[in-house]
């Protein structure tokens, strides 16, 4: 008579939308016993199936977040073009344009200053999390804050970044795109009852989707 042990995931007693498995027990299987008559084995199979369903839902959410982050990245780039047109050409347009052939003369020096003041006010009265490049802040949230990023960053970060870059600030769009996509994934991870590890997966999905 042969006997082997297999791990079985047990569902948490807390009612949740996603069946998060928190405990692990060992189910004992006997090769000469009838599995259909063994209630313990049946419960183990049910729990494994629930875990697979949970992983499938997590994958679908991650794909949705990645696609949404891609659209947010496009919105950010359009915002950069819009503010460049507004500050340097006084036009309301989303057409890509370079600020180099400007016609403001010496007053062009004031444009980055105005953009910096507006972004500073947004950081003071909106959220201080919009400060910085974006990538170090995302890494800090993963390592120290259980992948939790303030929800308001989803709105303030792309707007402030588009305003700062469009007004002539010496910045790139990669960091803000990554931070915004990561904030979107983190927000979804906080809405649904997920673990810190699962929030990290969604955060990475959002960041990767934005950088695509």
Mean of the per-residue pLDDT values of the chain: 79
Residues 141-147: what's their mean pLDDT? 84
- pLDDT at position 149, please? 87
> Does the pLDDT at position 17 exceed 80?
no
* CA 208 from centroid of its chain's CA atoms: 9
- pLDDT at position 127, please? 81
- pLDDT at position 74, please? 94
- Greater pLDDT, 55 or 83: 83
> Does the pLDDT at position 29 exceed 70?
no
- pLDDT at position 209, please? 92
Distance CA 155, CA 151 (A): 8
Distance CA 74, CA 92 (A): 18
Alpha carbons within 13 angstroms on the beta-carbon side of residue 153 total 25
């Amino acid at each position: 008579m042969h006997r082997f042990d297999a791990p079985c995931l047990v569902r948490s007693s807390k009612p949740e939308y996603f069946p998060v498995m928190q405990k692990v027990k060992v189910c004992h299987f006997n090769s000469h016993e009838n599995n259909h008559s063994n209630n313990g084995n049946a419960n183990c199979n049910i729990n494994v199936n629930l875990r697979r369903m949970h992983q499938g839902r997590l994958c679908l959410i991650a794909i949705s977040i990645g696609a949404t982050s891609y659209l947010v990245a496009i919105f950010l780039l359009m915002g950069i073009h819009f503010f460049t047109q507004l500050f340097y050409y006084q036009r309301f347009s989303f057409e890509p344009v370079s600020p180099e052939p400007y016609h403001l003369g010496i007053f062009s020096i004031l444009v980055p200053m105005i953009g910096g003041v507006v972004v500073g006010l947004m950081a003071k009265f909106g959220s201080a999390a919009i400060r910085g490049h974006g990538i170090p802040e995302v890494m800090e949230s993963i390592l120290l804050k259980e992948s939790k990023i303030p929800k308001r960053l989803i709105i303030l970060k792309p707007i402030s970044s588009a305003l700062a870059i469009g007004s002539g600030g010496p910045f790139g769009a990669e960091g803000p795109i990554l931070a915004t996509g990561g904030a979107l994934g983190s927000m979804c991870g906080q809405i649904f009852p997920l673990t810190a590890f699962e929030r990290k997966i969604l955060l990475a999905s959002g960041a990767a989707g934005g950088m695509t």
